[in-house]
Amino acid sequence: MMRLVLLGFIFSFLISCDSEPQLVELAGEALGTGYRVQFYSSERFEVVEKFDSTIAAINKSMSTYLEDSDISKINDGDTTIVIEPMFRDVLALSRKIYNATDGYFDPTVGILVNAYGFGPEKQIKVLDSVVLDSLRAYVGLDKIKLSREGRIIKENKAVYLDFNSIAKGYSIDRLGKMLENNGVENYLIELGGELFAKGKNLDKNQTWRVGIENIDSPLNNREFTEAVELQNRGMAGSGNYRKFRIDSTTGKRYVHTINPLTGKAEKSDILSATVIATTCAEADGFATAFMALGLEKSKQVLNRHQDIEAYFIYADKDSTAIFKSKGFSNFIVK
């Protein structure tokens, strides 16, 4: 459940319809993480209620943590569910990223996520090669079809859909559309580190500015390696750099990411992936895939998709280094 706190003033008594746009700030919790939005509006609307209803609709459709959500019912074998438009959008976008990353982004990896103890289902204590091979048989977005009526057809009932690696980004996009439908042209939405910016910061008369976190900064005093200008773009990051391991032979830092093609938690030299795309959902999905792909394969994907920009912090021998895609520098504040 989303809990929003209105900062500074009560929006329902904010302004008359003919006044200049004024800044509104909201903060709270949504989808199990922190949330903040800033936007400018000159008209009244029930913003808290609309935010609540948007998040509730997304949860009802795609939250694996709700037993009565559509996705949970589908995962439990219910074949009568006709998916609603948001579910259809996310499935289509997931398939696009799945194909673009040669299967490294895969929402059917949920059965492995659960097996490793990172999802809502019970962890499997002994994950040997035999068990992984058996689970791997249920992974692959090509094992999911959509009927003409809008029902999910699974190749095997054990196939488990999990959109958590794209849900935050998609939620931000939907919240942005809600604001736009209510006349808002300038806003910045942040949810658990994922962002979408539209228009500009009117108070400063400049493009919205956000930061890329320094992976070596302490959790209680976060620092940023770069300031980024965002306008009509989404930005998302992925990384488990605070849970890295040191190779005892080389001294090199690695993170372990589940590879959907092998089912194993494999070493990745990318410690942090930050992606800029036209939607936050795309940025979210590609950032997840890059963590599993590793540096060299990620570069190949970026070369094929010029509309995606990325900033990687990666392990290089016994230290870290930075890679920026060709167009990423255009977003960095000079």
Residue 316 annotated as binding? no
For residue 311, list its beta bridge partners. Answer: 274, 324
Q: Is 239 found in the same domain as 305?
A: yes
pLDDT 10s digits, 289-329: 999 999 999 999 999 999 999 999 998 877 889 999 999 99
**Mean pLDDT computed over 206-234:** 81
Rounded Cα distance between 150 and 80, Å, is 10
Separation CA 27–CA 24 (nearest Å): 10
CATH number of the domain where residue 80 is located: 1.10.3980.10
Question: What is the tens place of the pLDDT at every residue in 47-56?
Answer: 889 998 999 9
What's the start-to-end Cα distance of the chain, in Å?
Answer: 40
248 is in an annotated binding site: no
pLDDT for residue 250: 60
Domain count, the chain: 3
Question: Residue 8 belongs to what domain range?
Answer: 3-58+170-198
- 77 Cβ contact list (under 8 Å, min separation 6): 157
Same domain, 181 and 262: no
- What is the CATH number for 327? 3.10.520.10
Q: For residue 165, say whether it is annotated as part of any ligand binding site.
A: yes
Alpha carbon distance 98, 79 (integer Å): 24
Q: Are residues 218 and 327 in the same domain?
A: yes
b/e map 210-248, b = 16+ CB within 10 Å: bebbebeeeeeeeeebbebbbeebbbbbbbebeebeeee
pLDDT band at 42 (very low <50, low <70, confident <90, very high): confident
Q: Using 50, 70 and 90 to split pLDDT, how confident is the model at 125?
A: confident
Shared domain check, 238 and 113: no
What does the pLDDT look like over 161-196, one tens digit per residue? 999 899 999 999 999 999 999 999 999 999 988 999
How far apart CA 282 and CA 286 sit, in angstroms, is 6
Q: How far apart are CA 194 and CA 132, in angstroms?
A: 31
